[in-house]
Amino acid sequence: MFLNNFWFLVIGVLWVGYFILEGFDFGVGALLRIVGKDEKGRRVLINTIGPIWDGNEVWVVSAGAFTFAAFPEWYASMFSAFYLALLLILVCLIVRGVAFEYRGKGHSDRWRARWDWAILITSWGLALLWGVAFGNIVRGVALDADHEYVGSFLDLLNPFALLVGLVTLSLFIAHGGVYLALKTTMEVRGRARAVARTVGLVAAVLMAVSVVWQYSLRGTALSLTLGVLAVLSILGAVLLTRMGRDGWAFVASALSTAFLALGWFASLYPNVFPSTLDPAFSLNIENAASTPYTLALMSWIALIFSPLILGYQAWSYWVFRKRISVRHIPESPTSVPVH
């Protein structure tokens, strides 16, 4: 059972890392045409995440791969239940990645505007959909005795899951605003700080409601404590942004994201995919796990390769740590037709 608990914790940490890092990615994309009022402003926003956004997605790939290897029953049931939702998430991830790459390939304003809207819409969609997905995992879904999902797609659009989706949407936008305040200067930084202060308060209110609701569903003392810390942390991020302490504000918003996600996993444990039909039908860290040999082999692989991946990503963040200003952005090429 030690390895079962260990891998449950590892998968939780991977999702925490993904939501912290990709969370501000989504926030920056969602604010592309809000904080970036003109072409240079939008290019500043894209340049703040340009070198790192694809590296941040390694975390979700790792979380999915380790879930498949460590808890295959969880992986199978979850992907069966969330098939359409995860397909939509995958489409958004693909379109968003293509938009980042193709935006600068054309020289017309219409070309860039189309890709800007693709980035903005998919960023909003992903920030919302991930919350809805985890809201359903925490709440539980209709699993039968064979751990098969017997509900419908509309069952996933329940009030609690939609609320959690709004929580992650507002939290990621505030997190992105704090990140932009840390990484930009002048007018762009001012607009980013204004968004972070306003949306951060909205996120705090929605988060407080979701924490109380989650506790009434299947909460524990630990999950409630983590939820309270998440609310206090985002409020701290708002206060620190008002004080102009952008670095500490980003730490606070990152902690809020971490506490929120950890609260979800604390609420689940020892289950990994609860059933709303009968608690006996739920998947937990024992009946969903791989063999002890598989878990042991995975542990050695993770021990060897994880430091290399973490080291490389930390190095990339260090290299691209400077603030970016509109003064660093050259003039756009003359607008010409794009065929």
**Residue 148 contacts residue 283 (beta carbons within 8 Å):** no
Average pLDDT over the chain reads: 87
Residue 51 falls within a domain, yes or no?
A: yes
Q: How far is CA 140 from CA 156, 212, 222, in A?
A: 10, 17, 19
The CA distance from 319 to 338, in Å, is: 34
As a dihedral over the C-alpha atoms of residue 119, residue 333, residue 179, residue 306, rounded to 10 degrees, the angle is: 70
Pairing relationship of beta strands 283-284 and 271-273 according to DSSP bridges: antiparallel
- Using pLDDT thresholds of 50, 70 and 90, give the confidence band for residue 302: confident
| 23 in any annotated domain | yes
Tell me the pTM: 0.90
pLDDT in tens, 47-65: 888 887 777 888 888 888 8
Q: Is residue 256 part of a domain?
A: yes
pLDDT at 338: 43
Kindly indicate the confidence band of residue 163, based on its pLDDT and cuts at 50, 70 and 90.
very high
The answer to whether the beta carbons of residues 68 and 272 sit under 8 Å apart is no
Q: Is 130 a residue whose pLDDT tops 90?
A: yes
CATH code of 84's domain: 1.20.1630.10
Query: What's the domain range around 131?
Result: 2-324
**257 touches 16 (CB < 8 A):** yes
Percent of residues, the chain, with pLDDT higher than 70:
96
Higher pLDDT, 104 or 139: 139
Task: Please give the Cα distance from 134 to 258 (Å, whole number).
Answer: 14
Tally of domains in the chain: 1
pLDDT at residue 335 in the model: 47
DSSP 185: -
What does the pLDDT read at residue 336? 46
Would 331 be classed as within a structural domain? no
Region 123-137 average pLDDT: 93
Instruction: Give Cα 29 to chain centroid, integer Å.
Output: 13
Is the pLDDT at 255 greater than 60? The verdict is: yes
Q: What is the pLDDT of residues 317-335, one digit of tens each?
A: 788 777 776 665 666 655 4
Is 334 part of a structural domain of the chain?
no
What average pLDDT does range 174-180 have in this prediction? 92
Average pLDDT for residues 36-51, to the nearest whole number? 82
Which residue is listed with tokens 């899951």?
A: 161
Q: Are 99 and 122 in contact (CB under 8 A)?
A: yes
Q: Is residue 332 part of a domain?
A: no
Tokens of 301: 């692989």
pLDDT, residue 319, reads 80
> Could you say which DSSP state residue 184 is in?
B
Q: Is residue 330 part of a domain?
A: no
Residue 335 located in a structural domain: no
